[in-house]
Amino acid sequence: MQYHLNGFRPGNPEVHPAARARPDAPPKTLDAPPETPDVLPDTLDVLIVGCGPAGLTLAAYLAGFPQISTRIVERKPGPLEKGQADGISCRSMEMFAAFGFADTVIRQGYQVSETTFWAPDPANPAHIARQGRVDDVEEGLSEMPHMILNQARVHDLYLDVMRNAPSRLVPDYGLELAGLTIDPGAAYPVTAMLRDTDTGEIRTCRARYVVGCDGARSAVREAIGLRLEGSSANQAWGVMDILAVTDFPDIRLKTLIKSARDGNVIIIPREGGYLVRLYIEMDQLREGERVSSRAITSETLIAAAQRIFHPFSLDVREVVWWSVYEIGQRLAARFDDLPEAQSATGLPHVFIAGDACHTHSPKAGQGMNVSMGDAFNLGWKLAAVLTGRAPPDLLRSYSAERQAVAADLIAFDRDWARIMSARPGALPAAQSAATADDGEDADFQRHFIAHGRYTAGMSVRYAPSSLIGTARWQALAPGFPIGARFHSAPVVRLSDARPVQLGQIVQADARWRLIAFCPAQEPGPSSAIAELCAFLATSRASPCRRHTPKDADPDAVIDLRAVFPQNRRDLALEAMPPALLPRKGRFGLIDYEKIFCADPSPGRNIYDLRGIDRAQGCLLVLRPDQYVAHLLPLHETGALSDFFAGILTEV
Ligand code: FAD
């Protein structure tokens, strides 16, 4: 990480200097920054409702922008301590890297490396036997692992980011949204009524934007007249986090057990080495039936699990948390307050994210991950609009992009739930090139492998729009599909020879990135990279000049990086174009972290891994949420300028 840009600061660099006080906040000092003021201001830029994964992702994002007044309210009296979701997909880990805490999750969490499959033993169907094992994540899919960590710990990590951010944001617990009204013509169009859960007192707060991250029974969704459509509560699953003694050998592996007569269990080993989560499939509910009517207890769940584990023993010593989790695949038609007729022209003021707009079965571990993905998409857009970098119509793209993603994932979830519940041996053959061990239930394993990109969070591909360019030049780097998330690869930094993952240049800071992959030519004055740099630094048509405020650092809005195919020792730092060694901050210090070289080690060269055209190179435009927005030849500067002109405000 980079720090000391504006002068030496002792102490933990992850605690950012507190921002200068806003006019509506008490004074803040560096030594004793006050907590977020107790009293909710009358007016706010963004009010977030709900401290689940969606709300906290958004709050952590906006906390980095002290010029945006943000508050997050939660009806519960304090932070979540245990329970709920725990699966963190590779894609979410890539996002955590942008927030700076992926390494903490790797250190504290359980890493899912292998999944095993158990089914009735063909020789004795009353017993279960291992039918196969597969790698949990396809080789090379991401530099990040699939992790398991309690949702409550994920919340803590976000709360740390918020507390250490320049705006020192902390949630307002014990406040619940009781209703909202919208007056589109007002400076603060949304009026929110908030009830103090202790006193019952109602406060009102006017906001430019309200984001409902308030879960499956969202009051925000109801207030804007949207409903979750689809099958509700069709399947009940018991879930329990336990400390147990067992002779089942795969208890520390993610395991799917299908018994002949007693149903299915998913074993999710948990962080810390001892804790285990069991998901136990309960009966299908009748139409309109609620799971509470079944009077299920933790003893019911333990007994069901013991029957499925047979002939292995399961001696439960402590039930840490348990719940009966009843969920269907449901989806809202829109994720904002615009009537359908105004979806292409209106300006939204209220958004919903996470379970408020889509719910999934827990079987594919999507709930928390997709919810965080929604907020990551909305975070940079709100930041861009509220800091004046982009016009408010950018916000229309949130519902358009994320509703399509959720619809796709719900279709996958429905399919996956059907596969999970199928009786052993009852599945048709899966279309998958990947191999699975042969055995009674090999088809089930093939389905698992075929669905791996969905469960890893890598299936998202945004459709062409003003934010996603044409695929005309895709052949310059087929390994970076336009609209998909940037697939990172190793590179070596020129200035200090440090090996790094290129994808990790993206931080949760609403900046766009331009990555110039240079052709195999000397980077002299008439080289393609020198000409591109000259255009970006000096031309009036340069998007970097057009969209960056005069007094800001040159990379404040669009951050230019370059990757060279040459060996690091064959390149001279001093011969690099000045735009790749920009001067920044109050001292005009040089930023040495913009230039990278391909890693020459076998199997690690980014040009080979992603199929980058060595003769022509290419220019990759990366969105602030790590998705590939565009891919162009290095000399297509006109198309580059036009692309940004359609998104960002000219300063
Ligand atoms: P949530 O995490 O639901 O957060 C919404 C927040 O909003 C809550 O903190 C809530 O208190 C708050 N809130 C609600 N209404 C208001 C209001 N009017 N005013 C203020 N605050 C409000 N997923 C799994 O994969 N595995 C599991 O085992 C699992 N178990 C779950 C158990 C429970 C009890 C629940 C609720 C969810 C479970 N999930 C599980 C789902 C998973 O936790 C969600 O998919 C994920 O948390 C969605 O995140 P979110 O931020 O959208 O919503």
Res 433 pLDDT > 50: no
51 Cα–ligand 1 center, Å: 8
Torsion angle defined by CA atoms of residues 139, 141, 142 and 148, in that order, rounded to the nearest 10 degrees: -80
132 close to 445: Cβ distance less than 8 angstroms: yes
Whether the bond between 391 and the residue before it is cis, its omega within 30 degrees of 0, is: no
Helix (H, G, I), strand (E, B) or coil at 494: coil
For the segment 274-291, the average pLDDT, to the nearest whole number, is 77
Q: Which atom of ligand 1 is nearest to the CA of 216?
A: 3
Query: How far is it, in rounded angstroms, from Cα 72 to Cα 181?
Result: 18
Res 334 pLDDT > 50: yes
Res 399 pLDDT > 60: yes
Output DSSP code: residue 452: H
Q: pLDDT band for position 237 (50/70/90)?
A: confident
Residues 507-538 have pLDDT tens digits of 999 999 999 999 998 888 899 999 999 999 99
DSSP per residue over 359-392, as a string? E--GGGT-HHHHHHHHHHHHHHHHHHHHTTSS-G
Q: pLDDT band for position 30 (50/70/90)?
A: very low
Residues 103-154 have pLDDT tens digits of 999 999 999 999 999 999 999 999 999 999 999 998 999 999 999 999 999 9
Nearest CA to ligand 1 atom 19: 176
Query: How far is it, in rounded angstroms, from Cα 53 to Cα 43?
Result: 25
For the segment 364-378, the average pLDDT, to the nearest whole number, is 92
Nearest CA to ligand 1 atom 14: 214
345 close to 363: Cβ distance less than 8 angstroms: no
What pLDDT score was predicted for residue 422?
67
DSSP per residue over 253-274, as a string? SEEEEE-SSS-EEEEEE-TTTT
What pLDDT score was predicted for residue 327?
66
Res 157 pLDDT > 50: yes
Q: Which atom of ligand 1 is nearest to the CA of 359?
A: 45
With tokens 């309690």, the residue in question is: 150
Residue 529: both structure tokens together: 């990279």
Res 294 pLDDT > 90: no
What pLDDT score was predicted for residue 400?
96
Q: To test ligand 1's pocket by mutation, which of 49, 75, 84 has the most ligand atoms within 8 angstroms of CB?
A: 84
354 Cα–ligand 1 center, Å: 9
With tokens 């597969």, the residue in question is: 134
234 Cα–ligand 1 center, Å: 18
With tokens 């103090």, the residue in question is: 196
What pLDDT score was predicted for residue 23?
44
Residue 269: both structure tokens together: 């080993």
Percent of the chain with pLDDT over 70: 90
What pLDDT score was predicted for residue 31?
44
217 Cα–ligand 1 center, Å: 9
What pLDDT score was predicted for residue 298?
93
359 Cα–ligand 1 center, Å: 10
350 close to 179: Cβ distance less than 8 angstroms: no
What pLDDT score was predicted for residue 540?
95
What pLDDT score was predicted for residue 285?
57
What pLDDT score was predicted for residue 416?
76
Residues 571-606 have pLDDT tens digits of 999 999 999 999 999 999 999 999 999 999 999 999
Res 29 pLDDT > 80: no
171 close to 73: Cβ distance less than 8 angstroms: yes
Identify the residues whose C-beta falls under 6 Å from ligand 1. Answer: 49-55, 73-76, 84-85, 87, 151, 176-177, 213-215, 219, 239, 323, 325, 354-356, 362, 365, 367-368, 371
For the segment 503-508, the average pLDDT, to the nearest whole number, is 96
Res 404 pLDDT > 90: yes
Q: To test ligand 1's pocket by mutation, which of 325, 350, 369, 377 has the most ligand atoms within 8 angstroms of CB?
A: 325
Q: pLDDT band for position 409 (50/70/90)?
A: confident
Residues 631-646 have pLDDT tens digits of 999 999 999 999 999 9
Percent of the chain with pLDDT over 90: 77
Res 211 pLDDT > 80: yes
Q: Which atom of ligand 1 is nearest to the CA of 367?
A: 45
Specify the higher pLDDT residue, 73 or 21.
Answer: 73
Nearest CA to ligand 1 atom 30: 84
Q: Which atom of ligand 1 is nearest to the CA of 50?
A: 7
355 Cα–ligand 1 center, Å: 7
Nearest CA to ligand 1 atom 18: 177
133 close to 439: Cβ distance less than 8 angstroms: no
What pLDDT score was predicted for residue 649?
97
Nearest CA to ligand 1 atom 20: 176
Q: Which atom of ligand 1 is nearest to the CA of 53?
A: 51
Nearest one of 560, 489, 488 to 518, comparing CA atoms: 560
Nearest CA to ligand 1 atom 15: 214
Nearest CA to ligand 1 atom 4: 52
**Beta-ladder partners of 278:** 240, 267
For the chain, the average pLDDT equals: 91
Res 26 pLDDT > 60: no
216 Cα–ligand 1 center, Å: 7
Res 470 pLDDT > 70: yes
Query: How far is it, in rounded angstroms, from Cα 224 to Cα 647?
Result: 27
Q: To test ligand 1's pocket by mutation, which of 214, 361, 420 has the most ligand atoms within 8 angstroms of CB?
A: 214
11 Cα–ligand 1 center, Å: 36
Output DSSP code: residue 468: B
What pLDDT score was predicted for residue 326?
72
Residues 82-107 have pLDDT tens digits of 878 999 999 999 999 999 999 999 99
Query: How far is it, in rounded angstroms, from Cα 285 to Cα 322?
Result: 19
Nearest CA to ligand 1 atom 24: 85
Q: To test ligand 1's pocket by mutation, which of 158, 368, 374 has the most ligand atoms within 8 angstroms of CB?
A: 368
Res 435 pLDDT > 80: no
